Structure 1
Amino acid sequence: MKSFFFVFRLVVFWFFVLLFVALMLANTAPFRHHDAAPTFILLIFIALMLVVTGAVSHLRRVRLIAGHLDDSTMGNRQRRQIEIPFEAGEAFDLLDAAIRELPRSEDVESARDSLQVRAKVQRPKPYGHHPLGRLDPSRWFGHLRNQIFATVTPGDGTGSVTLICEPEAGAWSDWFRVDDGTNLENAEAITRAITRRIAEKRRNEQMRARQTETEKERTVARLNLLHAQVEPHFLYNTLASAQYLTRTDPQQADHMLGHLIHYLRHSLPQRDDALSTLGDELERTSAYLEIMRLRMGPRLALQIDVPDTLRAFAIPPMMLQTLVENAIKHGLEPKPGGGTVWILARQDDGAIAITVADDGRGFNEAGGGTGIGLKNVRERLRLIYGAEASLSVVSNAPEGVAATITLPPRSTTTETVS
């Protein structure tokens, strides 16, 4: 019924316009003394048939595009409200790209500050060249273009797009001609393009999230492997020493096992992918050093200078002990008279520097501690902090080596505190 009234409205307006033109021509000199009524009636009938044909073609094409007919789809002017789940600037970029890639778009004017886009669109000829040419009243206004006006209204993390597609003519022209569904086609095309771009962006975000998760899993696995490489050899050596002492000095063996239990108490609760604190690492390292004192006797001395305010600072587990192990293994144990291990911590602009120094054999004779321990420390720092953390190993005058770990004050790390 709505389609019938749509066609009827066009026919009525064209009838009165053609009748008015016929009456005006009938009063002019060439037709005043001739009976031109039959000719005018025939021309009016042909013109009205062409109007009906054009209107019906418009309705059929609109049904093909939209799948149904109603007041909004039959009209020459289309309005869409599109919600984009991105901030206004990003929503504007999606809208602008969608309009620019519309077929036959031209004269595109976009203003990012005001979030507006205007464009002209060449109107296609859906049915090619019309055989009756200028006899068709719908061609009397010329082949008009369509135009697009779109704005983005900012919201709370979203952008609301108001899209208007209409003929390049005043609203009065809608009473006399149809657009063959071209503005409906433009509105649907822009809506589809925006929807496709949103879906593509979501897919890319999901893909990046999956890649990030995969990289995180790989990083944690590598950290666990590096961590596993550090702990076992100390446990094996300690248990071997305790086994030996049970036969030669049971009391010392008991002390060694007590320190080992203390060491394990500060080691086992930590997950391999969890950060520790400097205080906990000092407790762990102290237990380790007590065990080493039982093995080295008076050849091992220790000095610790760590402010209480830094003991809650988060650091990766086992790194401090690795540096201490390296100092004893490469610096003090090979030295006949042994020596001293210093553990120092300082804070500068929020960043913390932890230094383990010794007065052992140094670079020349020990090779600078280039074994797996320091390599693992460097690799774990890179995986956890990226370029924000560093490990430096230098000579400790007059003899020995000083290794310093520098950690950022706050950073996003691969290891997380549980």
Structure 2
Amino acid sequence: MTTSLYFIVRLIAAWFVAFLVLAILIDATPLGYFDGWPLTFLFFVTIGFVVIGAVSHLRRVRLIAGQVDAGTLGNRQRRQIEIPFEAGEAFDLLDAAIRELPRTEEIESARDSLQIRAKVKRLEPYGHSPSRYVNPLALFGIPRNQIQATVTPADGTGSVTLICEPESGAWSDWFRVDDGTNLENAEAITRAVARRIAERRRGEKAAAAQTVTEKELTVAKLSLLHAQVEPHFLYNTLASAQYLTRTDPARADEMLGHLIQYLRHSLPRTDDALSTLGVELERSRAYLEILKLRMGPRLALQIDVPEDLRTTPLPPMMLQTLVENAIKHGLEPKPGGGTVWILARSNDRIVSVTVADDGDGFNAESTGTGIGLKNVRERLRLVYGNAATLAIVANFPNGVAATITVPVVAPGTGADAQEPGHG
């Protein structure tokens, strides 16, 4: 109450002083002999409109801000807004918020200096009242407000200084009120910035949730592949071992040993943690050794993987998928069989793992669905983003070569990847 009363008294005092100075000036001129009642009448009419305008201003400020104090009553409003984006993004967000204000015009946006200036045509909050034609204050009307905003770069954020004020000098604040229009502009820009930040956050959360869902689905698929031993492969291996127990017990024992090794590495994992190139190589070697015993001279195997690369983190089942593709779609359909190569090389913190064959290649009529390779690509994207790739090319002179390229250290694994135990 005291603040409101002081605000009204201050305006009355300013106009009283203005009329007093005007009366002194008139009295000092040849016009001073005129009766002073017209000036006195004009003074009381003006004071009446000043009080009415001040009370309306107080009521409107209370409606906009919910409270009346020295900060909300002023014609000039200052806001400090912290935007949790880098300065360029903060500037774009602020620029869009200012441009959306009603009746905004003459916008000057300087991205290099991170400054925005704009004029806002003032809207009559109470419409066009007939009293404005007899209101002396209408002669000193201020038709526009102005906005100045500056973004100051900080550590990954943008600090915004926002100023909303009348398009007139500070002296006018002693005589006129802005009917809360600058307070309204400052609040509107602050709300718009907060809304846009919230929208960005919701979008980021939705994208993160989508990524998590995609990862969970892919992990579920890979876990199923990990836990699943192909029935035909298992049946054929056991049938071959049963036959060899009668004809060649030593080979039967060797085959069962490879099968045990393969099954040990194919047990379901309790989480989606990365495996290593060494562990995945042992699984694939066991698989190929079993097939060598079954296919005989139709299958040859060559492995060239340096020992220091075997600790490279690698998602499980990826290498196995490429090896199975080489057998099923490359060598098994080929009457004479062929060779499978598994190679690994490193270059500038990047490891490339290649599975190649000299089978029928792209000319063969494939019976596959492509799900395995699709899962490999999806898992690479989820684990490494754009830092990993899968390339499928023709091998010379025959066959296909598939190459997985991954960083030496996977995201979130630390500098030293440890090869997990086999259990």
Give the TM-score normalised by the residue count of structure 2. 0.82
Aligned in 2, Cα 1:325/1:232: closer, same or farther, shift over 3 Å?
A: farther
- Residues 376-395 of structure 1: pairs in structure 2 closer than 5 A: 376-385=371-380, 388-394=389-395
Alignment RMSD: 3.4
Provide, for residues 40-71 of structure 1, a one-character-per-residue CA deviation record: whole Å limited to 9, x for no partner: 33332222112111111111111111111100
Mean alpha-carbon deviation: is it higher for 193-202 or for 284-293? 284-293
Provide, for residues 289-336 of structure 1, a one-character-per-residue CA deviation record: whole Å limited to 9, x for no partner: 4434444556655444444344444552413541563355333xx54x
Check whether the contact 1:223–1:273 (CA below 8 A) recurs between aligned residues.
Answer: no
Specify which of 364, 371, 387 is matched with residue 367 of structure 2: 371
Give distance in 2, aligned partners of 1:260 and 1:346. Answer: 25
1:102 paired residue number? 101
- Residues 8-407 of structure 1: pairs in structure 2 closer than 5 A: 8-26=9-27, 28-29=29-30, 32=33, 36-133=35-132, 135-224=134-223, 231-246=230-245, 252-268=251-267, 275-297=274-296, 301-315=300-314, 316-323=318-325, 325-326=327-328, 329-331=332-334, 334-335=335-336, 341-345=339-343, 347=345, 349=347, 350=350, 352=352, 354-358=354-358, 363=360, 368=364, 370-372=366-368, 375-385=370-380, 388-394=389-395, 396=397, 401-407=398-404
Aligned in 2, Cα 1:123/1:243: closer, same or farther, shift over 3 Å?
A: same
Check whether the contact 1:120–1:148 (CA below 8 A) recurs between aligned residues.
Answer: yes
Give distance in 2, aligned partners of 1:305 and 1:17. Answer: 97
Aligned in 2, Cα 1:26/1:355: closer, same or farther, shift over 3 Å?
A: closer
Check whether the contact 1:275–1:317 (CA below 8 A) recurs between aligned residues.
Answer: no
Aligned in 2, Cα 1:304/1:45: closer, same or farther, shift over 3 Å?
A: closer
- Where 1:389 maps in the other structure, the secondary structure is strand
Aligned in 2, Cα 1:260/1:141: closer, same or farther, shift over 3 Å?
A: same
Check whether the contact 1:220–1:414 (CA below 8 A) recurs between aligned residues.
Answer: no
Aligned in 2, Cα 1:78/1:12: closer, same or farther, shift over 3 Å?
A: same
Give distance in 2, aligned partners of 1:203 and 1:148. Answer: 29
Shift of 1:189: 0.8
Count, aligned residues: 402
Check whether the contact 2:326–2:400 (CA below 8 A) recurs between aligned residues.
Answer: no
Aligned in 2, Cα 1:186/1:299: closer, same or farther, shift over 3 Å?
A: closer
Give distance in 1, aligned partners of 2:17 and 2:298. Answer: 118
Mean alpha-carbon deviation: is it higher for 255-264 or for 17-26? 17-26
Check whether the contact 1:96–1:117 (CA below 8 A) recurs between aligned residues.
Answer: yes
Structure whose CA Rg is larger: 1
Check whether the contact 1:19–1:44 (CA below 8 A) recurs between aligned residues.
Answer: no
Give distance in 2, aligned partners of 1:24 and 1:134. Answer: 27
Give distance in 2, aligned partners of 1:252 and 1:411. Answer: 38
Shift of 1:216: 2.2
Give the TM-score normalised by the residue count of structure 1. 0.83
- Where 1:82 maps in the other structure, the secondary structure is strand
Q: For structure 1, which runs of at least 5 residues remain unmatched after alignment?
A: none
Give distance in 2, aligned partners of 1:272 and 1:50. Answer: 76
Amino acid paired to 1:370: S
Q: Using the aligned pairs only, state the percent identity.
A: 57
Shift of 1:134: 5.7
Shift of 1:132: 3.9
Check whether the contact 2:313–2:410 (CA below 8 A) recurs between aligned residues.
Answer: no
1:410 paired residue number? 407
1:2 paired residue number? 3
Q: For structure 2, which runs of at least 5 residues remain unmatched after alignment?
A: 382-387
Provide, for residues 273-293 of structure 1, a one-character-per-residue CA deviation record: whole Å limited to 9, x for no partner: 555444334323333344344
- Where 2:332 maps in the other structure, the secondary structure is helix
- Where 1:184 maps in the other structure, the secondary structure is helix
Give distance in 2, aligned partners of 1:297 and 1:40. Answer: 120
- Where 1:156 maps in the other structure, the secondary structure is coil
